[in-house]
Amino acid sequence: MNQNLEQQLVILPQAMLGMLGGGQLGRFFVIAAHEMGYKVTVLDPDENSPAGKIADVHICAKYDDAAALKQMAESCQAVTTEFENVPAATLETLAKSIIVRPSAQSVAIAQHRVSEKNFLKEAGLPVAPYVVINAVNDLPADDHDIYPAILKVARFGYDGKGQARVANLAEAEQAFAEFSQEECVLEKMLKLDYEVSVVLARGVNGHVATFPTTENSHLNGILDVSIVPARGSDAVNHQAQKLAISVAEKLEYTGVLGVEFFVCNGELLVNEIAPRPHNSGHYTIDACITNQFEQQVRVMTGLPLGSSRQHSPAVMVNLLGDIWPDDGALLQAEPAWQFALGNPQLKLHLYGKQAARAGRKMGHYTIVNASRDEAIKQAMQVRSDLNIGD
């Protein structure tokens, strides 16, 4: 589609919007779009996908299915994605006839760790030391200062999957073999102070709205708790915002973007970028004027960005399938929700997934409170009551 025409076009309700992906991020997008008066077509190969179940139209097909893409191109005025592993070729195909935000080029960089690391480094953004591994001979010798390190597959790794900690060459060789000698990044393991992220939206006119810097902790490689605003120094929080904006600008990005950072010795390093709404931004549903999914709708349709102001401190806790009781019954039992729903400051969000399993994101809750410390205290009490992390 002509770029100048695309920048001028504003898509208003009751238009049909397209979503590639049917997970929980897509589900929240559908909810936001419906609240704003839009219709949504979801393309996802899972007939029970959380987003597909509430969409106006669910095309149950693979992301490279020619007939499915033709149907989307003919029925939707714009298309976006909820996860970075949608083939870039799919976005390129759709972009020939309708608006696609973010662009295939942006997604292609973010979905490939080598491209991502190289992009960040070449853009002058701070990253941890790394080595690109295409063959076993690329693995550094034991005396290299990269060790101890983390070997990460270049494609399809997320939530701790496709990663292995290695202390020396022998361990790196073993991990590389277990990853079928796929292209990898060997990244130096650093001593972290803590981790933060910034979620932002960048519109077609280049205007950026950033959400507050979020402090994150992980459990088994999966986001566990997010605290907003982050408890770090104002200087670190402000610098994270500046770096995130720089990432978006250098990517020439249009859409909602999540940028993850390591804080090491008080300095920020960019860890990963996510070309979509981010798990650490879920608190925005309950604690901000405009949430990250409404921003996604606004960018996609060419509307002005909403206010990203946070009106209340918040703590978000992920709910994984590990806390669902497994008593061998035909119908899976539920966690003790009374511990969560008995708290008047708590907002519970379950994703409508058909079955719980270990490590699967089934929902989250957010504590919203005038006091950040009190929000943390309450969130941790409910987390303990639900046996999260046990």
Residue-by-residue DSSP string for 162-187: TEEEESSHHHHHHHHHHTTT--EEEE
**How confident is the model at residue 279, as a pLDDT?**
97
Report the alpha-carbon distance of residue 288 to residue 328 in Å, rounded.
41
Render pLDDT for 271-299 as a digit per residue (tens, 0 to 9).
Answer: 999 999 999 999 999 999 999 999 999 99
Residue 361, pLDDT > 80, answer yes
Contacts 24+ apart (CB under 8 A), 31-34: 31/293, 32/291, 32/293, 32/294, 32/296, 32/297, 33/297
pLDDT band at 122 (very low <50, low <70, confident <90, very high): very high
pLDDT tens profile 284-342: 999 999 999 999 999 999 999 999 999 999 999 999 999 998 765 555 689 999 999 99
77-93: per-residue pLDDT in tens?
A: 999 999 888 888 999 99
pLDDT at 389: 81
Q: So where are the chain's domains? A: 3-100, 129-188, 194-385
pLDDT-above-90 percentage for the chain: 88
Helices (H), 317-386: 338-341, 372-385
pLDDT at site 271: 95
Q: Do domains 3-100 and 194-385 have the same CATH topology?
A: no
pLDDT per residue as tens digits for the range 146-177: 999 999 999 876 655 789 999 999 999 999 99
Selected residue with higher pLDDT from 384 and 333:
384
Residue 158: predicted pLDDT: 60
pLDDT (0 to 100) of residue 272? 94
What pLDDT is attached to residue 318? 98
pLDDT in tens, 10-19: 999 999 999 9
Fold topology of 3-100? Rossmann fold (3.40.50)
Whether 182 and 136 have beta carbons less than 8 Å apart is answered as no
Query: Token pair for residue 121?
Result: 């480094």
Tell me the pairing of strands 346-350 and 314-320: unpaired
Pick the CATH number of 129-188 from 3.40.50.10380, 3.65.10.10, 3.30.1490.20, 1.10.167.10: 3.30.1490.20
Q: What is residue 102's predicted lDDT score, i.e. its pLDDT?
A: 96
Strands (E), the chain: 16-20, 39-43, 57-59, 78-81, 99-100, 130-133, 149-153, 163-166, 184-188, 194-202, 208-210, 214-219, 222-228, 255-264, 267-274, 314-320, 346-350, 361-368
Pick the CATH number of 194-385 from 1.10.10.10, 3.30.470.20, 3.60.20.10, 3.40.140.10: 3.30.470.20
